[in-house]
Structure 1
Amino acid sequence: MGLITGYWATGTLGAAASHSLFTHLEDGATSADQLAARAGISQRGAQTLLDGLVSLGLVELRDGHYRNTAEASTFLVEGRSTCLSGFAQLKLAHMEAMAGLPDVVRAGGPLADATVEVADNPHWEELVQALAAQSAPVAEIAADTLRLADAGEISILDIGGGSGIYSAVWLERNPAARSTQADWGPINAIAYRLLAERGLADRFSRIDGDFHTTDFGTSAHDIVVYSHIAHQEGPEDNVAIFAKIRSALKPGGTLVICDYIVDDDRSGPPFPLMFAAEMLLKSKQGGTWRRADYRAWLAKAGFDDVSFQPTASPAALVFAR
């Protein structure tokens, strides 16, 4: 029953995020009446959402007063770098598409051309910022592993960087570093604006265009980032891009991949396994790939030192040299 009614959780969390309930709770609202007044919603609606959030373990009720759990405070309060409320609202809007999964499974892919994967879709403004919060903690972990704070004057290339969150986190860690993002022009413009708000735009460059055909240069970068791109590409495209990256890296440089990676026998982890359905719905060739796939592709592209690092998020890091 929990699995069959799982969409109730998506709906409750998405609705609560849409009305900033977690932010209002963090700011001192402790009852349905107070939340209703602050959020501009009905008292009945506020109580229903609170009941659902208590059920989900996101809100606690003590002595008649409601408050965020530690997890909700960290990941659902607006204005925090790790806030996933925007993503919760995004997935609420995507719920209808899942009803088409039986037909997509029969066909083996999307039934119509994906409209999201175009450069000028206004959807990107919402999507890239919603995704940034997922990547921020992992970018910090990668920075620690690479010891970026002590790396000095380095050049970073972020392929399909979206919001520019890796550039933002890494440039803040290393004041001597410079970063370039290769992505579609409208998305690069969003990233530039977000980095400018953090005072980092003077060390951030953009290469506008499709990264499949973009020239990354030769021996030009110390680190190349390929975050949450491999899952939307097929095997041949991933190998081709990895080969371009190998040429773009300086001797001794590192490719950093972040993605949802499944075990070689496809027995886990749970999130990457489930994410494969998202790719079946939205991409013609994408999927969640095994560690063995990455090893094989990277070897074909000329990388001989490959290591995997799990993180506290559903995504894993891959370091290739």
Structure 2
Amino acid sequence: MNEPNPVIIFETLNAFQRTGALKAAIELKVFTVLGAGPLSAKSIATASDASERGMRILCDYLTVIGFLEKSVDQYSLTPTSAVFLDQKSPSYMGSVAGFIAAGAIMDTYRDVAGAVRKGGTLLPDGGSTNVDFELWVEFAKSMAPMMKPAAHFIADLVAEKHGDAPLRVLDIAAGHGLFGITIAERIAEAEIVAQDFERVLEVADQNAKLAGVHDRYTLLPGDAMSVAFGENYDFILLTNFLHHFGTDTCNTLLKKVRAALKPGGFVVTLDFIPDEDRVTPAVSATFALTMLMSTDQGDAYTFAEYERMFAAAGFRSNQQLDVPNSPSRLVLSCNG
């Protein structure tokens, strides 16, 4: 039996310090400086244009929480920091701090009790579902590195189901565009239609140019709830999107999605999908709080809930898949 221990209370109330420290280290390029090898706080401070005292305290804190290792007065990278936080690494993902730790995001948690009382976000105009939500452009610019494993998994799945034959893919709420772009890179005759708000699509369009698939990349600006999707798509991507809405809105959208699919076509839904107990796995289960704080009706839906939504829209086949190297899960739904 676990004995009562107040440490978890102290650690949780101070958890904001972890966010601030990691964000500061990314901004000061601490992990990139250490990519060349172990250094003292003085050397790191010189390279980062910071004070020696401040850098020593920051690096000691980063060591305590697991991002650095320390031997005498020398700091070095952990394997995780070396792979994901050194800007010279091909798997660098420090940019995600620009969205996840943005001031506007952090501020939403100043009154969790108020959101719990209301049952939804305290942000104006529906929060993150608002067409003018200021952080969606930052999301598109920042979050692509975190999505790479899932994007490659989806592209491989599409290739497995469809082969290398020509196909049309609708990427709903495309954001950075990585999911559709990766399919276009994987399948030479894939044509991608990217739907999102106009300012967000500027980011996806630039990413398509950088990836060399711009000639097969079409933009569809507008609100997913009202814009005409077109028809005869082989695949429709719903990545990190349905969680923003209540089940009635999801049901309406899925009927619209099904109408845009070819018979036998597939919907690929990527999301944080908790187990039926709603408390495991931790990342997916706790994502429900993110939705409470940022939306009016959004949630972290279980697979059973997704099955009911897709069944209500006319889909008869749904399969849940775990995504390697990602906290996300995938639901593959067939229109037939």
TM-score, reference length from structure 1: 0.92
C-alpha displacement of 1:226: 0.2
Q: Match for 1:46: what amino acid?
A: M
Computed over aligned residues only, the root mean square deviation of the Cα atoms, in angstroms, reads 2.0
Matched residue SS, 2:228: coil
Q: Tell me by how many angstroms 1:288 deviates.
A: 0.7
Q: SS of the residue aligned with 1:181? A: strand
Percent identical among aligned pairs is: 28
Alpha-carbon offset, residue 252 of structure 1 = 1.8
How far apart are 1:277 and its partner, in Å?
1.3
Pairing 1:100–2:111 present: yes
The letter of the residue matching 2:292 is L
Do residues 241 (structure 1) and 250 (structure 2) align? no
Unaligned segments of structure 1, at least 5 residues: none
CA deviations on 1:262-312 (whole Å, 9 max, x unpaired) are 122323121122111111111011011111110000111111111111123
Q: State how 1:1-321 maps to structure 2 within 5 Å.
A: 1=7, 2-28=11-37, 30-62=39-71, 64-78=73-87, 82-92=91-101, 93=103, 94-113=105-124, 114=126, 117-120=129-132, 122-147=134-159, 150-218=163-231, 220-311=232-323, 312-321=325-334
Q: Distance in 1 between matches of 2:166 and 2:186?
A: 12
For residue 143 of structure 2, give the secondary structure of its aligned residue in structure 1: helix
Unaligned 5+ residue runs, structure 2? Answer: 1-6
Question: Alignment partner of 1:236: what SS?
Answer: helix
Q: Distance in 2 between matches of 1:193 and 1:59?
A: 35
Matched residue type, 2:224: F
Counterpart AA for 1:61: K
Query: What is the rounded CA distance, in whole Å, between the counterparts of 2:183 and 2:159 in structure 1?
Result: 10
Please report how far the alpha carbon of residue 176 of structure 1 lies from its aligned counterpart in structure 2 after TM superposition: 1.6
Instruction: State the 1:6 CA deviation.
Output: 2.0
Q: 1:315 to 1:81 in 2, by over 3 A?
A: farther
- Larger CA deviation: 199-208 vs 104-113: 104-113
Q: Aligned-pair distance for 1:115? A: 5.5
| Per-residue CA distance 1:130-181 (angstroms, 9 max, x = gap) | 2212221111112223335943211111000100010222111112211111
Quick one: distance in 2 between partners of 1:298 and 1:187? Answer: 27
TM-score for the superposition, normalised by structure 2: 0.88
Matched-pair contact (CA < 8 Å) for 2:159–2:186 = no
CA distance in 1, matches of 2:135, 2:36: 30
1:100 partner SS: helix
Between 131-140 and 117-126, report the one with greater CA deviation: 117-126
Higher alpha-carbon deviation: 48-57 or 280-289 = 48-57
Q: Contact 1:82 / 1:137 at 8 angstroms: preserved in 2? A: no
User: Does the Cα contact within 8 Å between 2:279 and 2:286 map onto a contact in 1?
Assistant: no
Cα gap change, 1:122 to 1:296, in 2 (>3 Å): closer
Preserved contact between residue 275 and residue 288 of structure 1 (Cα < 8 Å)? yes
Amino acid at match of 1:85: G
Tell me how far apart the structure 1 counterparts of residues 189 and 158 of structure 2 sit (CA, whole Å): 15
Aligned to 2:4: none
Q: Select between 118-127 and 90-99 the one with higher mean Cα deviation.
A: 118-127
Deviations 1:15-42 (A, max 9, x none): 1112121122224462212221221111
Shift of 1:124: 2.9
1:240–1:47 distance in 2 versus 1, CA, 3 Å:
same
**Cα distance change, pair 106–119 in 1 and its aligned pair in 2 (3 A):** closer
Note if contact 1:184-1:208 (Cα within 8 Å) is conserved in structure 2. Answer: yes
Match for 1:197: what amino acid?
A: L
Task: Please give the per-residue CA displacement for 1:80-114, whole angstroms capped at 9, x wherever unaligned.
Answer: 56433122243333333212111111121123415
- Distance in 2 between the 1:29 and 1:207 partners? 49
Counterpart of 2:13 in 1: which secondary structure? coil
Q: Tell me, in whole angstroms, the C-alpha distance in 2 between the residues paired with 1:85 and 1:55.
A: 19
Equivalents in 1 of 2:123, 2:172: separation in Å?
26
Partners of 1:234 and 1:161 in 2: how far apart? 20
> Structure 2: how far apart are the matches of 1:150 and 1:64?
55
